Amino acid sequence: MSDHVVPLEEMERDALTELVNIGVSRAAASLRKMAGQQVLLSVPSLEVVTRGGAATLIRERESGDLVAVRQDFEGVFSGRALLIFPESNSMALVRAVAGSALSDAEAAEMEDEALTETGNVVLNSCLATMANMLQRPLTMSLPQVVRGNGVGLFELMQVSTEEGGVVLFLYINFAINDRDIRGYIAMLMDLPSLQALRLLITEFIRRVIGDEV
Amino acid sequence: MSDIPTPERHPDIPSRRRQELAALGGPWLEALTASAVAIVLTDALLPDDPILHVNPAFEALTGYPAAEALGRNCRFLQPEPAETEARARIREALATDAPVTADLLNRRRDGERFWNRISIATIRDGHGAPAFRLATQADVSSEYADDPAARELRASRRSLAEVQERLRVVQSVAGAAGAWEWDIASKRLVADARFASIYGLDAATAASGLPTAAFFAAVHEEDRMRLRIAVAGALHGAEVFARDYRVVVDGEIRWVAARGRTYLDAAERPLRFAGVLTDITDQRKVEERLHIAQTAGEVGSFEYVAGYGTAEVSEQFCRLLGLRPAQSLPVRTINALVHPEDPALIQNRDGRISSGTASHEFRITRADTGEERWLASRGEYRAGLAGGTIFTGVIYDITTTKRSEAALRLLTEKLEERVEERTQERDRLWNLSRDLLNVIGPDGRLRAVNPAWTRLLGHDEAELIGTSIEALTHPEDAATARSHLAHLLHGEAIAEFDIRMRTKGGDPRWVSWTVVPEGGAIYGIGRDVTQRKLLEDQLRQSQKMEAVGQLTGGIAHDFNNMLTGILGGIDMVRRRVSQGRLDDVDRFLEAAMQSGQRAAALTHRLLAFSRRQTLDSRPLDVAVLVRSIEDLLRRTLGEQIELVIDMGPDLWSAVADDNQLESAILNLAINSRDAMPDGGRLTIGGRNVHLSATDLAHSDRGEAGDYVEIRVADTGLGMPADVLAKAFDPFYTTKPQGQGTGLGLSMVYGFIQQSRGDVMIESREGSGTTIRLFLPRHHGAPDETPAKPRAAALPGTGETVLVIEDDPAVRLLVLQVLQELGYRAIETADERDAVPILQSARHLDLLISDVGLPGMSGRRLAEIARASRPGLPVLFMTGYAREAADQAQFLDAGMEIITKPFAVDELGQRVNRILRTKGMAGPSSE
Ligand SMILES: Cc1cc2nc3c(=O)[nH]c(=O)nc-3n(C[C@H](O)[C@H](O)[C@H](O)COP(=O)(O)O)c2cc1C
């Protein structure tokens, strides 16, 4: 059985990738302001996989512990979003965001706070941009920091609907002051939500193409 | 023809080695040869590993037929003499007989080059010494691709991208890249001359600004939509823009890479979208080729910077490991898939290695299917731009190669096992064999003997080794052994021969030898056949007794008839004489004489059969002889039988006793006559032939060479096979009991054999019989046959004759004859009487002596006589004398022989002739 489901068409994936790109760019702009440093975010690619597939993906890629910021969203499409970093990268991110002048102890103290803030900015920007671009409102829960390995994280992603749902899995490159930090955005949705998202994307494409550019 | 540099050839690989291998390999070699794996076998015993064997797969791989490869060293496949690391590695491995795998650039017969992955293993014999080398070959060119691509292949995608980026930088610095700037608010596109040229726009217009639609106008239809989406993202605030797409200008497709940024205003609203455009058509081609090569060749690439937890990988890399495609993977994830006993895939985490190449092989458990596969990794360490060591490498699946290697190893082990097994078998055979097994060196001395030697002959091994085989042979067979040995040492194979060996106690043991010379040594297998020989002897003896019984019976019967004729005749004469009736006395005497002559003929035939007759062999002309008896033959055969005499031209002269030959031919003619009761044709032919040793296999004394053939062929009844088989049996006769002693054919046989010739018989029931007599050729002209004096004896003139004869009856007869003929005869019975007379001064003209005397033989007495009377004529009388069988050897000049029984007249004539010849030759001895 393939871990991939309802593969989006190339164009749809492109479009969704661009939407997230716009979102993370916004987040980057916010982070630049927050940190007063050069921050660039980009999403090179996106995959739609099952929950199990997502767990495998993250396990294969990240053998160490992970740290994630979680937010649920609700609207035309609903689900749960996670911004995931390797635990080992999180302090670098904290320093990048909260300022490199921090001592180790200070940084450790601030870690969760900094992560929550970063996650909030990134996820909010992404989801808000998507909602905005798709011209549909979304409501979001408060961000929450979770730790664990790949499997554990996805186990945490219980959604109301029973039939497992799918995961939009996005790679995200953080370039903060020329320092590369990798991370992932995972958006867990049920199938009806994905279906709805798809319709919206098609609409977006039509609009873009029809745009008087 | 190919222009291979002249290789050293070994055209003279002994076929023995090939056989040895075939014997060792057996079905194994066949199986391997038949497989699709290319195989080469070389001879490790000869210098420089000449090829002994290649299989059809090898021929297919290299294009060289086996005949062109055999005897050469495999390096003839190498196109260049240049030294390479791989060759050095092979040389090193071969020097220590270690297994080795290497890739070598080789050339096929048609000149095409290919990368040849060779795995060489050394096969050892039972003693662990290298005997053969076995190698498999596989074309792995796909792993090397062509050269520029090969170099790229070793680099990971990322480093390729790096190169491209650098190239782009260079290009833009050099003005090779085009630049654009898209003003979002005014929807105007401004582009430079280079951009305009790539897009096929007018440079001036582009510089002054175009509608933004111009950005998409030249874009390939298939890429336009995705580019629009990406640009839409950028225009809506996605800050990073990177897209590769095709533009079509004047029908020509070019690949371009567009890299841009979206610049925002203070309110975070997108302001302008600007970037550079590079023509990447060429790189793209390389990249595509690379991609195809990587995908088709199933080669995954990766790059790892020492110290990092992750490695950059290609999609194919992930696929080979059964992982989901990713661009970067944690080292731990990768290495966790590698078999715990094998080297890790990603190495040098501590950065200790900073340069050089590395390659290794390992097993992995595929992450998706759990299947075990063999992979190989190759790559290169280099210093990274930002410090640290970067390893750039590729991985590929080698499971199939590994499996055939494993199969090869297994086969090699099996072969070694077989060699070992065979050696053990041989040892067992050697030790347990009841047959004598031995190796004799070129000096004729024993080099190795098996325990059977001690068991059979009693000598222990230490005594035997170094002893000459002749010394171990029974003295009577030593000469035979010596001659066989001489032949064997000349490399001639002798199938089998029986000789007697001497036991430690001195007893003879019959041993039947099968002996093969090989490589200077002689290998022998000897079977103890003493028991068999004994039985054979007994059998022969009992057969002989039976035969003698038969013969005695037959002879007794015939003799009794003859004696009845003789005794009856004499008895009748005596009665008539006493009655004074002398008128019909002659009739009875004649009958007695005839019986006596028949008895004489019978004993003569007996002697002929026993090959103990006294033969007077001399050169003779067969044609002349046959013609001289032609009349006699015609009379014997009668009118119903046609006689054809067919003598070839230039017939050689033969050596034989003419009288015996006459009677042999006559005998055969009579047999033929009896086989043609209703008439027919008898052909007597003669021709020159050459007989080989095989032709003469059944002859007792015949030797290969020239012979005169006398063919006696009839058109008679012929003989059935069972009769034919016994035709020469001495006592076999087809005639009813009592009618004959059956000595006819066997007598002929005996005579011819005694004459060093041979007889062959062909016969089929109903289609006649052909008998061929072969007489040895005489080199030179035939002697002038002395005319046989048939005239009655002339009276003597008082010459003195000394007679030595132990049989009083014969002595009486001889004396009587001599006296009647007018000679003076001195009578002696043996040497006691004779020697004093011989040594005295008495005048003697002739010595007549029996050969077989009780004391000193007649021949010896003749010598004593000749000592003081050189030239004294001697006439020997003999009934039978083994030593006189060959007259030529027995007699000196002036000696003659007369065989008993002889007619009174015959004796008289002989004495007469001798004394007359002597008289002419010179004065008598004093
Ligand atoms: C059994 C066997 C098979 C070999 N097969 C090949 C071959 O197919 N191609 C090749 O180039 N060399 C082959 N070689 C290696 C060469 O014969 C030779 O050993 C090698 O070139 C190193 O020696 P050199 O440097 O003296 O030439 C083989 C060697 C052995 C013993």
pLDDT tens-digit readout, B589-646 = 888 888 888 787 777 766 766 666 677 788 889 999 898 888 888 888 888 899 999 9
The percentage of residues in chain B with a pLDDT greater than 90, rounded to a whole number, is: 9
Does the pLDDT of residue B377 top 80, yes or no? yes
Q: How far apart are CA A205 and CA A199, in angstroms?
A: 10
Confidence grade of residue B772 (pLDDT, cut at 50, 70, 90): very high
Radius of gyration of chain B (CA): 55
Per-residue model confidence (pLDDT) at position B2? 36
In this complex, which of A18, A25, A211 lies closest to B230 when CB atoms are compared? Answer: A18
**Is B237 in contact with A25 (Cβ distance < 8 A)?**
yes
Residues B828 and B760 in one domain: no
- pLDDT given at position B561: 75
Q: What is the pLDDT of residue B756?
A: 86
Residue A109 lies in a domain: yes
**pLDDT tens track for A67-103:** 888 888 888 778 888 888 888 777 777 777 666 666 7
Task: Tell me if B231 is assigned to some domain.
Answer: yes
CA dihedral angle for residue B838, residue B840, residue B844, residue B847, rounded to 10 degrees: -10
Q: Quick one: pLDDT at residue B494?
A: 67
What's the CATH number where B707 sits? 3.30.565.10
CA dist., res. B898 & res. B873, Å (int): 13
Asked whether residue B199 carries a pLDDT value surpassing 80, the answer given is yes
pLDDT of residue B922: 44
Of A14, A22, A209, the CB nearest to B236: A22
The residue that leads in pLDDT, B240 or B294, is B240
Regarding whether B161 and B96 lie in a shared domain, the answer is: no
Neighbours of B66 (CB within 10 A): 13
Give the pLDDT score at B717: 86
Using pLDDT thresholds of 50, 70 and 90, give the confidence band for residue A51. confident
- The pLDDT-based confidence of B272 (bands split at 50, 70, 90) is confident
Helix (H) or strand (E) holding B837: helix B831-839
Backbone angles phi, psi at A70, to 5 degrees: -115, 140
Nearest to B39 by CA among B136, B157, B164, B142: B136
User: Has residue B114 got a pLDDT over 80?
Assistant: yes
| Same domain as B27, residue B172 | no
For chain B, give the mean pLDDT: 78
Task: Please list every residue in chain B whose beta carbon sits closer than 8 Å to the beta carbon of residue A40.
Answer: 239-240
The residue with greater pLDDT, B145 or B192, is B192
Q: Identify the burial level of B104 via C-beta atoms within 10 angstroms of its C-beta, where 0-12 means exposed, 13-18 middle and 19 or more buried.
A: buried
Tell me the range of B17-26, B242-251, B348-357, B564-573 where mean pLDDT is highest: B242-251
B634 and B749 housed in the same domain: yes
From the list B212, B235, B330, which residue is nearest A63 (CB)? B330
Residue where a domain terminates, one of B279, B303, B326: B279
| Residue that the structure tokens 């004598």 belong to | B436
Same domain membership, residue B274 and residue B212:
yes
- Is residue A1 domain-resident? no
The CATH number that applies at residue B851 is 3.40.50.2300
Q: Tell whether B572 is covered by a domain.
A: no
B811 lies in the same domain as B913: yes
The verdict on a CB contact (< 8 Å) between A60 and B336 is no
Q: What is the pLDDT of residue B35?
A: 62
Q: How confident is the model at residue B552 (pLDDT cuts 50, 70, 90)?
A: low
Which of the listed residues B144, B164, B195 is the one where a domain comes to its end? Answer: B144
Cβ–Cβ contacts within 10 Å for residue B909, how many? 21
Q: Is residue A30 part of a domain?
A: yes
Confidence of residue B547 (pLDDT cuts 50, 70, 90): low
pLDDT at B283 exceeding the cut of 80: no
Which residues in B346-377 are b (16+ Cβ under 10 Å) and which e? bbbeebeeeeeeeeeebbbeebeeeeebbbbb
* Residue B289 in tokens: 């080729």
Distance of CA B105 to the CA centre of its chain: 39
Q: What is the largest CA-CA distance in chain A?
A: 54
Are the CB atoms for B281 and B254 separated by under 8 Å?
Answer: yes
| Atom 29 (ligand 1) nearest CA | B74
Q: Both tokens of residue B59?
A: 């021929």
Residue B822 inside a domain? The answer is yes
Q: What mean pLDDT is predicted for residues B37-64?
A: 86
B2 in a structural domain: no
Identity of the residue numbered A85? F
Residue whose C-alpha is closest to residue B731's, from B741, B745, B716, B721: B741
pLDDT: is A211 or B170 the higher one?
Answer: A211
CA dist B553 and A71 (Å) reads 136
User: From CA B646, how far away is CA B663, in angstroms rounded?
Assistant: 19
Banded pLDDT at B163 (limits 50, 70, 90): very low
| Residue B536 falls inside a structural domain | no
pTM of the model: 0.40
Instruction: Return the pLDDT at B709.
Output: 94
Are B333 and A56 a contacting pair at CB < 8 A? Answer: no
Question: How do residues B476-512 score in pLDDT, each as one tens digit?
Answer: 888 888 888 888 777 776 667 888 898 888 888 888 8
Q: What is the pLDDT of residue B538?
A: 67
pLDDT per position as a tens digit, A103-133:
777 777 778 888 888 888 888 888 888 787 7
Stretch among B289-303, B509-523, B662-676 having the lowest mean pLDDT: B289-303
Indicate the number of domains in chain B.
7
For residue A18, what pLDDT band results from cuts at 50, 70 and 90? confident
CA distance B309 to B266: 39
B897 neighbors B875 (Cβ within 8 angstroms): yes
The predicted pLDDT at position B736 comes to 44
- The residue ranking higher by pLDDT, B283 or B397, is B397
CA B306 to the chain's CA centroid:
65
H helix or E strand, kind and range, residue B318: helix B315-321
Which two structure tokens, joined as six digits, stand for A148? 């664990």
Is the Cβ–Cβ distance between B231 and B214 less than 8 Å? Answer: no
Q: At what angle do helices B744-754 and B585-609 cross, to 10 degrees?
A: 60
- Provide CB contacts within 8 A for B481, sequence distance 6+: B469, B470, B473, B499
pLDDT computed for residue B476 by the predictor: 81
**Could you tell me if B763 and B618 lie in one domain?**
yes
pLDDT tens per residue across span B797-833 = 788 999 998 888 888 888 888 888 888 999 898 888 8
Q: Is A14's CB within 8 Å of B226's CB? A: yes
| pLDDT on residue B925 | 42
Percentage, residues of chain A above pLDDT 70: 81
Between residues B577 and A40, which one has the greater pLDDT? Answer: B577
Asked if B386 and B240 sit in the same domain, the reply is no
Task: Measure the CA–CA gap between A46 and A16, rounded to whole angstroms.
Answer: 8
Q: Give burial (CB, 10 Å; 0-12/13-18/19+) of B724.
A: middle
Residue with tokens 């590993």: B49
DSSP string across B25-85: HTHHHHHHHHSSSEEEEEESSSTT--EEEE-HHHHHHH---HHHHTTB-GGGG-S-----H
- Do the Cβ atoms of B790 and B734 come closer than 8 Å? no
A3, part of any domain:
no
Q: Do residues B630 and B753 share a domain?
A: yes
By most ligand atoms within 8 Å of CB, the mutation choice from B76, B84, B118 for ligand 1 is: B118
Range of the domain at A104: 10-212
**Sign (positive or negative) of CA dihedral B889, B892, B894, B895:** negative
A143 within 8 A of A56, measured Cβ to Cβ: no
Last residue of a domain, one of B245, B260, B279: B279
Look at residues B34, B61, B39, B63 and name the one whose alpha carbon lies nearest to residue B51: B39
In this structure, what DSSP letter does residue B343 have? P
Residue pLDDT, tens place only, B913-922: 888 876 554 4
Atom 14 of ligand 1, residue of closest alpha carbon: B74
SS3 letters for B840-875?
CCCCCCEEEEECCCCCCCHHHHHHHHHHHCCCCCEE
Q: Phi and psi at residue B618, in whole multiples of 5°? A: -150, 165
Q: Closest by alpha carbon to B400, among B376, B382, B416? A: B376
What's the confidence (pLDDT) of residue B381? Answer: 83
What is the 8-class DSSP label of residue B697? Answer: T
Given an 8 Å threshold on Cβ–Cβ distance, is B236 in contact with A133? yes
B190 located within any domain: yes
> What per-residue confidence (pLDDT) applies to A3?
46
- Report the pLDDT averaged over residues B157-168: 42
Q: How confident is the model at residue B287 (pLDDT cuts 50, 70, 90)?
A: low
Q: At what angle do helices A87-98 and A10-35 cross, to 10 degrees?
A: 50
Among chain A residues, the shortest Cα distance to B186 is held by A213
B422 and B440 together in one domain: no
Question: Which pLDDT does position B208 carry in this prediction?
Answer: 82
Cα(B102)–Cα(B137) distance, integer angstroms: 10
In this structure, the residue with its CA closest to atom 20 of ligand 1 is B87
* CA nearest neighbour of A97 among A59, A69, A73: A69
Residues 129-168 of A with CB under 8 A from B: 129, 133
Residues in B closer than 8 angstroms to A21, CB to CB, are 233, 238-240
| pLDDT, position A86 | 81
Answer whether residue B94 is part of any domain.
Answer: yes
Q: Which CATH number goes with the domain that contains A189?
A: 3.40.1550.10
Residue B282 has pLDDT above 80, yes or no: no
Mean pLDDT of all residues in B212-232: 89
Full residue range of the structural domain in which residue B246 is found: 156-279
Q: Report the 10 Å Cβ neighbour count for B600.
A: 17
Same domain, B413 and B456: no
Report the pocket of ligand 1 as residue ranges, CB < 6 Å: B 40, 42, 49, 73-75, 77-78, 87, 90-91, 94, 104, 106, 116, 118, 120, 133, 135, 137
> Which residues in chain B are closer than 8 Å to A29, comparing Cβ atoms?
239, 264, 268
ipTM of the complex, rounded to two decimals: 0.81
Contact B62, B106 (CB under 8 A): yes
DSSP helix, strand, coil percent of chain B (3-state; round to 5): 40, 30, 30
pLDDT in tens, B643-685: 999 998 889 999 888 888 888 888 888 888 888 888 899 999 9
Chain B environment of A26 (Cβ under 8 Å): 237, 268
Please check whether residue A5 lies inside any domain of the structure. no
Asked, for residue A35, whether it belongs to a domain, the answer is yes
pLDDT of residue B139: 79
Q: Are B204 and B191 in contact (CB under 8 A)?
A: no
A15 near B CB under 8 A: yes
Out of B39, B43, B90, B101, mutate this one to test ligand 1's pocket (max ligand atoms within 8 Å of CB): namely: B90
pLDDT of residue B522 exceeding 70, the answer is: yes
User: Is the domain of B762 the same as that of B687?
Assistant: yes
